[in-house]
Amino acid sequence: MPHEMNYTLSSYLSLHGSETEKNYIRGLFDQFENAKTMGSYHLALFAYHLLFMCFLYETLYKIKLWLPNEHNMAFVSFSAKQRKKFREAKNSTDYVDDRNKEKSLFEFLNIYCDCEKLVEKCKSLVDYRNNNLGHANYALVDEMEFERKVEEYNQTAENIHKITHNQLARVFDEYIGKIAADEIITKDDLELNLIDPNNLSDADLGCLAAECELRGSGKVFSEIGRILKEGFSVEVKLM
């Protein structure tokens, strides 16, 4: 699946999370924007880190949806209570646990593919948060450092999203394969049968729209591409 454009972190978060998720994420973005406006860049970065972790939980939940056998085996060493909780997860908030260690959770990205360098990069962001933002150390973040770190989070989120592309393409092909020749595709159908059950984000829809552009000779792909553009305001920039 092609990489189509660069996004900010908000575009990688699910369009249809639970009410708990949406309220929490909305609050974090409010905190981020308010702190940034006030020049409290260390507090803004702290909120952005929490948003990044929300994105990680959503990415773990997609492993459960798309690679259930690998997902279940990955948690075999966890306690019986945790295994049950994660294996029966209904949304990304079910992965929150007071025994979770943020750095170890990134290891599960290797289920998508071998991505040790990416995992190490993610762990370094946790170290930065712990060393610079998580304690009263009298160290403030200036605007230049703030902008650099926000871009680092965005770039890391983009790289995490890239490793999900193969599974997203497979899910899309399965959805396409179930469409009858005379079936009329609607925006509601895309939401009910593709977007909602797969916890898709704006960035995911961008990938699907790019895929439709590349396969545009077929009626189904051209129609889905049109709905994504007109119904979801997805812009496509093929590279």
Number of separate domains in the chain: 2
Task: Decide if 83 contacts 75 (C-beta within 8 A).
Answer: yes
What does pTM read for this prediction? 0.91
Say whether pLDDT at 189 is over 70: yes
pLDDT in tens, 126-144: 999 999 998 888 888 999 9
117 and 173 together in one domain: no
Three-state SS annotation for 127-193: HHHHHHHCCCCCCCCCHHHHHHHHHHHHHHHHHHHHCCHHHHHHHHHHHHHCCCCCCCCCHHHHHHH
145 and 42 together in one domain: yes
Average pLDDT over residues 161-183: 94
133 and 151 together in one domain: yes
171 and 150 together in one domain: no
* 145: containing domain: 9-164
Q: pLDDT confidence of 6, banded at 50, 70, 90?
A: very low
Whether 4 maps to a domain, the answer reads: no
114 and 84 together in one domain: yes
Tokens of 24: 């929490």
153 and 180 together in one domain: no
Whether 1 maps to a domain, the answer reads: no
Whether 187 maps to a domain, the answer reads: yes
pLDDT in tens, 19-63: 889 999 999 999 999 999 999 999 999 999 999 999 999 999 999
38 and 150 together in one domain: yes
Q: pLDDT confidence of 101, banded at 50, 70, 90?
A: confident
